[in-house]
Amino acid sequence: MAPDKVKQENNGILSDADKVKGLAIMMNPKSVAIVGASQNPDKVGHVILQNYLDVGYSGKLYPVNANAAGKILGLESYRNITEIKKPIDLAVIAIPAKFTSELITECHKAGVKSIVVVSSGYAEIGEVKLEQELIDLANKYKIPLLGPNCLGVMDLKSRVDTLFLPTFKIDRPSIGGVSFVSQSGAVGSSTLDIIANEGFGLSKFISYGNASVIDETDILNYLAKDEDTKVILYYIEGVKRGRAFIEAAKKATLKKPIVVLKGGRTEAGSKAAHSHTASLAGSYEAYDAVFRQFGLIRADDIQDFVSFSKIFVSQPKCTGNRIAIMTNGGGVGVVGTDSLYSNGLQLAELSEESKKALKKALPPIVGVNMPIDMAGDADDKRFSATLDIISKDPNIDAIMAITLFQTPGADSRVASTLIHYGTTMEKPMVVVSIGGSYTAVHKMMMERSGIPVYDSPNTASRALAALIGYSKYLHRMRK
Amino acid sequence: MPGKLVDYVEAYKMLGAYEIKAAEAKYVSSAKEAIEFSHGGEPLAMKVISEKALHKSKSGLVRLGLSKPADIEGAFEDLSAKAQKIKPYKILVQKMVKGDKEIIVGGKTDEQFGKLILVGLGGIYVETFKDVAIRVCPINEYDANEMLDQLKSGKIIAPDEQSRKMLTNLLLKVSKFILDHKEIEELDLNPVIIYEGGYCAVDLRLMR
């Protein structure tokens, strides 16, 4: 092969920088072509177009359908993407897999800047050749491509939304600082639906499916630099480029917390088990080692995504593990104390000054030892007096405020007090509130104001432990 | 897939170049040679080495604490008889190492992340407790310390500053060894016996 030929081929291959740039375009396109858009509500392309209209996307929309005649959902339609003859930042492809290769070439002719292929029917069902064609064409024409076999992207700010899930079936989150990346569409959509009902809000959602061109490492590189993203959630089953992923993760974890849930933990051990090491250090264990070593926060379950996000978006970093517990219900304080220790934390001890101050400020029925049992009739004044003292105690690194709204003294004024201290003091605070509809109202009130509220002491302790673990990592790496 | 076990004596030399200490050993072809290796009564271990026997202690192919000439001779004959089924084989005699704790130090090549290093509670407890910590190579001193902290048995295998320092040093050396020897797909030093003021790997399994 002649040297100039090799060079030419290399020039055609998408670099990591090209893919990061492609993601940025995908997330904030001025114009979107939806290929496979249809008037028929059973078609994926119909749902995608309808969603763009529902969420109020303000850029240009071009429905494309080979059989189109007239308008689709009120918009002028095109039989072929090359007929549009205007700039196209993003093409969303929702047509059968066998037609997609041809379409990529047409996208190139039409000057498309980025592509999301939501269609399935590629390597995941053994159609390796079709997927390889997609990869080769995307590289040949230098068009960054996400998918196939994915839900695509969603950006709450730019209102791009390629998800083929109708807005009445899945709630869309409010705008926030968490970005969520999922290899799996199912984990992605169900988690998204839960996040929508949480107070912290979402910045971006990226479902990348088969990762044929843009993979998890590219997405990590992109989100690490994205200013709207404060916390990254990752669901992965595997990474394509292990060492590149490590390099990306090393840099990204210094900038923002990355919570990762690895699917496939129980996968059978290594086939080549000649040694103890080989059988003990299987694929999952290798991922686990990478996460520990490079500062990623390990989630055990989908629920961890929510409980970790809450604390990371709202609370300050904290490298100490001495936790004060204040409670208006003695028993839950005991359970809370246990949960600290089972998560590697410890109950703080009050300083002598704090003890004196508490004795003075609180009625005699309140003991001034940890956990501080403020008694069932504690009202906002008692919460306030306690918080005022312990927030200044140098022996305390973080606070768990157990607040049971079933009690006579607990009402919206208590919630307001917690919001006041939780948003102004320098220490992290978590609230534990267990209960039904009355509790739910106050939970919402506090969470919308940036106070993480948990429905069990253990979930709260897990979240605190995650925050402290990551803070310690940062502290060490920045030293 | 890793295939070939590196011969003990060769592995001993390779590790020795990195100051990784292992039990001195020699292949013997007669009971007489084995008795000579014991230098008049130093306790020996005797093992059958064969590609066909991966777990020697389970298969009854290891004899420990041999010091009397009669015992050495008896063990040699017994193991030779047992080894007939797993030819080709060799018989290795090794200086016995006395200690109170056993750990495993391992390495492997992961298809995604490359070389990994492992440490854990060793010997017969490896499979039962699976108390191990793993990192990607190269590791630094902090990583080595964290690996020990991660183990439930960390306080048992490294109870004081001195033993901790010794083990973190060992881990750093093994990390360097496995990175330098790309061809070694898997490595088991199991058990590594820890005694007052030192350690010694008594079984070396390097696969390439």
The pLDDT score that the predictor gives to residue A269 is 44
* SS3 label, residue A126: coil
A237 and A106 housed in the same domain:
no
Domain of A410: which CATH number?
A: 3.40.50.261
Contacts of A276 in chain B (CB under 8 A): 104, 106, 126-127, 188, 190
Contact state of B112 with A242 under an 8 Å Cβ cutoff: yes
Distance from C-alpha of B99 to C-alpha of A211, rounded to nearest angstrom: 51
A273 at B interface, C-beta within 8 A: no
Q: Tell me the CATH number at A97.
A: 3.40.50.720
Last residue of a domain, one of A296, A314, A332: A314
Same-domain pairing of A304 and A326: no
Q: Which helix (H) or strand (E) holds A49?
A: helix A44-54
Q: pLDDT tens digits, residue range A174-191? A: 899 999 999 988 889 999
- Residue A156 domain-assigned? no
Question: How far from chain centre, in Å, is Cα A134?
Answer: 28
Structurally, chain A folds into a number of domains equal to 3
Are residues A328 and A404 both part of a single domain? Answer: yes
Residue of B nearest to A283 (CA): B110
Averaged pLDDT for residues A262-271: 64
Same structural domain for residues A453 and A405?
Answer: yes
Interchain CB contact of A264 with B (< 8 Å): no
Mean pLDDT of A207-213: 93
Question: Which residues in chain B are closer than 8 Å to A238, comparing Cβ atoms?
Answer: 112
- Tens of pLDDT, residue by residue over A39-70, are 888 888 898 999 888 888 999 999 999 987 78
My answer on whether A274 and A245 are in the same domain is yes
- Residues of A within 8 A of B104 (CB-CB) are 276-277
Cβ–Cβ below 8 Å for B135 and A293: yes
Which of A239, A243, A289 is closest, CB to CB, to B116? A289
A47 lies in some domain: yes
DSSP B104: E
Domain boundary pick from A298, A314, A330: A314
Question: Which mean pLDDT values do the consecutive 10-residue runs of chain B (208 residues) have?
Answer: 79 96 93 90 89 69 91 93 89 90 95 95 86 96 96 93 96 98 94 93 92
Domain-embedded: residue A119: yes
User: Do A322 and A471 lie in a common domain?
Assistant: yes
pLDDT for the residue A161: 86
b vs e for A419-439, b when ≥16 Cβ sit within 10 Å of the residue's Cβ? bbbbeebebbbbbbbbeeeeb
Q: What is the mean pLDDT of the segment spanning A118-140? A: 93
Domains for chain B: give ranges and CATH numbers: 24-95 (3.30.1490.20), 101-207 (3.30.470.20)
Q: Above pLDDT 90, what percent of chain A?
A: 78
- Say if the Cβ atoms of A274 and B207 lie within 8 Å: yes
Judged against a pLDDT cut of 90, whether residue A20 lies above it is answered with: yes
Residues 282-321 of A with CB under 8 A from B: 283, 285-290, 292-293
- In A, which residues are within 8 Å of B142 by CB distance? 476
What pLDDT, in 10s, does the model give residues B23-46? 999 999 999 999 999 888 889 999
Of the three residues A279, A314, A349, the one that is the final residue of a domain is: A314
Closest CA to A83 of A106, A104, A105: A106
CB contact under 8 A, A289 and B135: yes
Residue A435 sits at the chain B interface (C-beta within 8 Å) = no
Q: Is residue A277 a part of any domain in this protein?
A: yes
Q: Which domain holds residue A65?
A: 1-148
B133–chain A nearest CA distance, Å: 8
Is residue A102, in this structure, part of any structural domain at all?
yes
Residue A267 confidence class, pLDDT cut points 50, 70, 90: low
Mutation target among B112, B141, B182 for the A interface, most CBs of A within 10 A: B112
Place of tokens 């177009």: A49
Shortest distance, CA B34 to any CA of chain A (angstroms): 28
Same domain, A461 and A327: yes
Question: Per the CB < 8 Å rule, is B106 touching A281?
Answer: yes
Query: Is residue A17 domain-shared with residue A135, that is, in the same domain?
Result: yes
Same structural domain for residues A126 and A179? no
Integer Cα distance of B109 and A272 in angstroms: 11
pLDDT, tens digit (0-9, with 9 covering 90-100), for A365-396: 888 899 999 999 999 999 999 999 999 999 99
What is the ipTM for the molecules in this complex? 0.86
A177 and A193 both lie in a single domain: yes
- What value, to the nearest 5°, has the Cα angle with vertex A464 and ends A327 and A347? 50
Check CB contact under 8 Å for A272 and B2.
Answer: yes
Amino acid B1: pLDDT: 47
Amino acid A441: pLDDT: 96
A362 plus A442 within the same structural domain: yes
Cis-peptide, bond into residue B191, ω within 30° of zero:
yes
Q: Is A475 on the interface with B (CB under 8 A)?
A: no
Residue A193 falls inside a structural domain? yes
**C-alpha to C-alpha distance for A24 and A223, rounded to whole angstroms:** 9
Within this chain, do residues A182 and A144 fall inside the same structural domain, yes or no?
A: no
Is the residue at A94 inside a domain? yes
Would an 8 Å CB–CB cutoff place A238 in contact with chain B?
A: yes
Q: Would you say how long chain B is, in residues?
A: 208
Peptide bond into B88 cis (omega under 30): yes
Q: Do strands A152-155 and B44-49 pair parallel, antiparallel, or not at all (unpaired)? A: unpaired
Hey, what amino acid is at A399? I
CB distance A432 to A402 below 8 Å: yes
pLDDT over 60 (residue A1): no
CA atoms within 13 A on the CB side of B162: 6
Is there a domain that residue A164 lies in?
no
